[in-house]
Amino acid sequence: MNLLAAKNLSHSFEYELFFNVSMELQNGESIAIIGVSGSGKSTLLHLLSTLLSLKNGTVSILGEDISKMSKKRLAEIKRRVIGIVFQSHYLFKGFSAYENLEVSELLSNQKIDEELLKKLKIDECINQKVAQLSGGQQQRVSIARVLTKKPQIIFADEPTGNLDKITAHEVMELFFEYIKNVNAGLILVTHEEDLAYRCDKVYKLENRELKRLK
Ligand X SMILES: Nc1ncnc2c1ncn2[C@@H]1O[C@H](COP(=O)(O)OP(=O)(O)OP(=O)(O)O)[C@@H](O)[C@H]1O
- Chain residues that interact with ligand X, rule: CB under 6 A: 13, 17, 35, 37-43, 87
CA–CA gap between residue 206 and residue 35 (Å, rounded): 6
Q: Does 42 bind Mg ion (CB under 5 A)?
A: yes
Please report, for residues 61, 70, 163, the alpha-carbon distance to residue 78 in angstroms, rounded to integers and kept in the order given: 11, 12, 27
Q: Which does 39 bind (CB under 5 to 8 A by kind): Mg ion, ligand X, none?
A: ligand X
Q: Which does 159 bind (CB under 5 to 8 A by kind): ligand X, Mg ion, none?
A: none
Q: Are 100 and 147 in contact (CB under 8 A)?
A: no
Beta bridge partners of 82: 153
User: In angstroms, what is the minimal distance from the CB of 29 to ligand X?
Assistant: 22
Residues in 79-118 at the binding interface with Mg ion, rule: CB under 5 A: 87
Q: Which is nearer to Mg ion, 101 or 195 (CB)?
A: 195
Q: Which is nearer to ligand X, 2 or 12 (CB)?
A: 12
Closest CA to 82 of 202, 184, 188: 184
CA–CA gap between residue 48 and residue 54 (Å, rounded): 9
Q: Which is nearer to ligand X, 34 or 141 (CB)?
A: 34
CA–CA gap between residue 103 and residue 87 (Å, rounded): 20
Q: Which is nearer to Mg ion, 9 or 126 (CB)?
A: 9
User: In angstroms, what is the minimal distance from the CB of 45 to Mg ion?
Assistant: 8
